[in-house]
Amino acid sequence: MKEKITIAVDGWSSCGKSTLAKALAKKLEYIYVDSGAMYRGVALFALRKGWVSASHTDNSMIIDNLNSIQLDFESTKPGKADLFLNGENVEKEIRKIEVSNVVSAVATIKEVRKHLVDLQRKLGDSGGVVMDGRDIGSVVFPDAELKLFVTADVDIRAQRRFEELKSKGEDVSIEAVKSNLKQRDEMDSTRKESPLIQTDDAVVLDNSHLSPGQQLEVALELVKERLKS
């Protein structure tokens, strides 16, 4: 029986990947890595510098300055790891709609992806990791023992994200949330560099009508099988 496996959790924007990946990591006592937070960290840095906006992205400024962007995860509460950008806790800021609106454009840049994929592999190279994102099973950890492809109906995803943003005090409409989700899904799945794909060996988990607890149960059964094989 294997001791610890690598678990890749990929899927559409706001489909509950992070909720599942975090819960799995907690239950299994694995490391959890939110790879989307890393893309959001780079996007926030570029946004603050004026290198990215809704209409324009200055790829070369972003690429030339990748080495000035230090990204770290630090635990601020048990079971919670916040993203730090050059020493500043930016966990709240990276979730804002202003960052969501530009992050997919930043994530299309090949050099950004290479830089972050190298960091992601270092974070997970000793195994016992649950990482969520878009290219974890296809690019970051193609040999992961368990690959989950999470999906849910777009209206359900928009409603969940809307409620999450509202509970954080963000002033946003459900239409704006849904339109952002659809736009990101389109960009993430059609970009040239490592687009979101469902690999042949991934298990599809549609959680449209599952509670977080139920989806965790399904995933834990799959983990058990993989640990035995």
Q: Least separation, in Å, of the C-beta of 88 and ligand DC?
A: 18
Phi, psi of 145 (to 5 degrees): -70, -30
Whether the Cβ atoms of residue 107 and residue 37 lie closer than 8 Å to each other: no
- The CA-atom distances, in angstroms, between 229 and each of 17, 179, 205 are 24, 42, 21
Long-range contacts of residues 43-49, Cβ cutoff 8 Å, at least 24 apart? 43/94, 43/99, 43/102, 43/103, 43/106, 43/107, 44/85, 44/90, 44/93, 44/94, 44/99, 45/69, 45/85, 45/86, 46/102, 46/106, 47/98, 47/99, 47/102
Site size with ligand DC, rule: CB under 6 A: 14
Given candidates 19, 35, 101, 180, which one binds ligand DC under the rule CB under 6 A? 35
Site string for ligand DC, 188-207 (x = CB under 6 A): x-------------------
Interface with ligand DC in residues 118-147 (CB under 6 A): 133-136
Q: Which is nearer to ligand DC, 195 or 227 (CB)?
A: 195
- The CA-atom distances, in angstroms, between 122 and each of 11, 14, 109, 129 are 22, 26, 20, 11
| Choices 19-27, 33-41, 50-58, 159-167; region in contact with ligand DC by CB under 6 A | 33-41
Given candidates 40, 115, 147, 157, which one binds ligand DC under the rule CB under 6 A? 40
DSSP 147-191: EEEEE--HHHHHHHHHHHHHHTT----HHHHHHHHHHHHHHHHH-
Residue the block writes with tokens 């777009």: 154
Q: Least separation, in Å, of the C-beta of 170 and ligand DC?
A: 15
Site string for ligand DC, 102-121 (x = CB under 6 A): -xx--x--------------
Q: Least separation, in Å, of the C-beta of 107 and ligand DC?
A: 4
Site string for ligand DC, 73-102 (x = CB under 6 A): ------------------------------
Q: Least separation, in Å, of the C-beta of 134 and ligand DC?
A: 4
C-alpha dihedral, 219 to 220 to 225 to 229, nearest 10° = 100
Q: Is 44 in the site for ligand DC (CB under 6 A)?
A: no
Site string for ligand DC, 148-187 (x = CB under 6 A): ------------------------------------x---
Q: Least separation, in Å, of the C-beta of 86 and ligand DC?
A: 19
Which residues bind to ligand DC, rule: CB under 6 A? 13, 35-36, 39-40, 103-104, 107, 133-136, 184, 188
